[in-house]
Structure 1
Amino acid sequence: MSKPSNPYTDNSFVSSDLKTILHSKRANIYYLSHCRVMQKDGRVLYLTEDDKANLYYNIPIANTTSILLGTGTSITQAAMRLLSQAGVLVGFCGGGGMPLFMGTEREVYVEWMTPQSEYRPTEYIQGWMSWWWDNDKRLAAAKQLQIARVAYLQAVWNKDSDFKRWGFDSNIDAIQKLLNDNIQQIDKQTEVMHLLQLEARLTKQLYKLATQNTGYDGFTREHDGIDKANGFLNHGNYLAYGLGATTAWTLGIPHGFAVMHGKTRRGALVFDIADIIKDALVLPLAFICASENMSEQEFRQECINMFTKHKALDYQFEVVKQLAMTKWEV
């Protein structure tokens, strides 16, 4: 008698069947809207409707970090099974990469669905938890996170010729002084809330710099703002959150064990990790693309290209792993 088929394993695979690509080396973040994501012949596809025919497009799941499902999307159980096996994070969001209102109307975030793998590394969560309960050590880790954020901005703005053409150059005296002053102030802070305030002041000064460099006059940061700069900032930030969620999940550290935003948001470790690269990449790109009147799709592609070019995910992994394994002396 032939062996009966198993609907839960047919057209499936084991992780070892894929050519292993480290999450830090994966290239793709997908934002999908008005399509259906499905499994076909062991592959994950998305289907769009055309006037004359349905169009199928392959998603290279072995080289994908996260997928954002926007307005008008659906996904099948079989596709979710394959994405889980490939270690791809799936997030549900609003149109254009903006978040849905989840839970209450006052709290806005992307709802991330993480693959349920019990075979992620244990050393990083064990290292993280060895100091996380200590307020002083958690503050020390938060300071190191802020130093890493400024160091990444200095490095990117020092070498990226596209940014330099728009005046985002860390060798300029005024910018150099701004960043050096911020680093000096980081070590003087005695509470995490003071660090958050210091971070917010630097970002506000960078907004002012960006408006001057791009001629985007009259800018005010408003998360619900309808102008392109605000929209692009929101959009790019949520792409960065995808990288942050990927980093934390891959290293096996639950999103609730934050060092900066823990008192203000759920799943705040994602925000902590995303902040490492947001000001360096998303902020200048949002103003540059807005001043050039780019579309959302063009801006999204510019963001993803910059994440890859400057190895944003690599850097996030490096910083978080170092924090997890540090033996803090405070």
Structure 2
Amino acid sequence: MDDLSPSDLKTILHSKRANIFYLEYCRVMQKDGRVLYLTEANKENLYFNIPIANTTVILLGNGTSITQAAMRMLAQAGVLVGFSGGGGTPLYMANNVEHAIEWITPQSEYRPTEYLQGWVSFWFDDGKRLAAGKQIQTARIEYLTQVWQKDKELKQNGFDITAKNIQSALATFHQRNEKANKNSDLLLTEAQLTKTLYKFAANNTKLENFTRQHQGSSKQHTDKANDFLNHGNYLAYGLAACTLWVLGIPHGFAVMHGKTRRGALVFDIADLIKDALVLPWAFICAAENATEQEFRQQILQAFTDHKALDFMFDTVKSIALNNGSDDGAQPL
């Protein structure tokens, strides 16, 4: 069989790609024109194919290594690669970044220009940047409402968008979001809503005394909920980083999380889906005492079912082109 190169494969739009891989205790390599990961079991080597043309992100956890040949093929296919600790969190790397993933992006400058130009056309104006932050927050709530109305499993677990306390919290959120005069107002409004959603989720799943902690120990179900929140958030960061890289928008052009915070725009865009998908499933899986792998499979399926990556692309493109012309814009 002749070797294949990524250029020979049919290109799948990033917004339509189906796979996110989290790997641990394996070696990623190139073999016969394919990217594989190698594991050891019962004194034999097992090879598994990674469909790079249909993959957005690969996250490498504990005990992993990767060859230069594999990285070359991943870069040519436009796959983002990140290094993390066990379970996807935290970062262990020679870079002083706390509670984050260091994404290694393929080095290609042949990316669209209209989205970056549209983004910077408003970014240096404080008022327009605030308006973009409001757009992200509004889109986030619209997506949450859409997902919770549609998803039967979430409804079965008590995540009902029509609940009085949720409707009250959303009404307050919309009022404060609209009246916000500065970035700190947006962040405070976001934090207050998220706190309400945590309480709602904890009550639904009967996880008493829940407190949000970014370092969970998994000794109790409430700690497991924190672990799953961290894990799911990092997967959301991967989707956000992929969206921004494909559209050619640098991570430093944040509209909410601060001009100097590393990768801040990634956190802005990840917020679009975290409350709608990561938050409820983290609590549900913790209440069911699920494993990390079971949670990961569930959340990745939720991303696919509710077209999370498509939603990120559509939202970012809309904001970027809001102050410019969308003539000639192509789907990605």
Q: CA deviation at 1:278?
A: 0.1
Equivalent-residue separation in structure 2 for 1:172 and 1:203 (angstroms): 16
The number of residues matched between the two structures is: 318
Q: Which among 149, 156, 159 is matched to residue 150 of structure 2?
A: 159
Q: CA deviation at 1:175?
A: 1.5
In structure 1, what is the equivalent of residue 295 of structure 2? 299
Q: Which among 51, 59, 72 is matched to residue 68 of structure 1?
A: 59
Q: Which runs of 5+ in 1 are unaligned?
A: 1-9
Equivalent-residue separation in structure 2 for 1:232 and 1:58 (angstroms): 27
Q: CA deviation at 1:12?
A: 6.3
In structure 2, what is the equivalent of residue 6 of structure 1? none
In structure 1, what is the equivalent of residue 12 of structure 2? 21
The residue type equivalent to 1:55 in the other structure is L
Equivalent-residue separation in structure 2 for 1:132 and 1:21 (angstroms): 31
In structure 2, what is the equivalent of residue 94 of structure 1? 85
Q: CA deviation at 1:171?
A: 2.1
Contact 2:134 2:177 (C-alpha < 8 Å) held by counterparts: yes
Equivalent-residue separation in structure 2 for 1:101 and 1:45 (angstroms): 23
Contact 1:34 1:48 (C-alpha < 8 Å) held by counterparts: yes
TM-score, normalization by structure 1: 0.93
Deviation sequence 1:40-90 (CA, Å, 0-9, x none): 011000000112310000000011000000000000000000000110000
Is 1:192 the counterpart of 2:183? The answer is yes
Contact 2:15 2:309 (C-alpha < 8 Å) held by counterparts: yes
Deviation sequence 1:186-242 (CA, Å, 0-9, x none): 011111111111101110100000010000111100101211000000000000000
Mapping of 1:118-157 within 5 angstroms? 118-157=109-148
Is 1:206 the counterpart of 2:206? The answer is no
Structure 1 residues 12 and 268 mapped into 2: Cα distance closer, same or farther (>3 Å)? farther
Structure 1 residues 101 and 191 mapped into 2: Cα distance closer, same or farther (>3 Å)? farther
Q: CA deviation at 1:320?
A: 0.2
Contact 1:102 1:108 (C-alpha < 8 Å) held by counterparts: no
Is 1:220 the counterpart of 2:216? The answer is no
Q: Which runs of 5+ in 2 are unaligned?
A: 218-222, 325-332
Between the aligned residues of both structures, percent identity stands at: 67
SS at the partner of 2:122? helix
The residue type equivalent to 2:257 in the other structure is H
Contact 1:101 1:109 (C-alpha < 8 Å) held by counterparts: no
Equivalent-residue separation in structure 2 for 1:183 and 1:102 (angstroms): 40
In structure 2, what is the equivalent of residue 33 of structure 1? 24
Equivalent-residue separation in structure 1 for 2:237 and 2:13 (angstroms): 18
Q: CA deviation at 1:263?
A: 3.9
TM-score, normalization by structure 2: 0.93
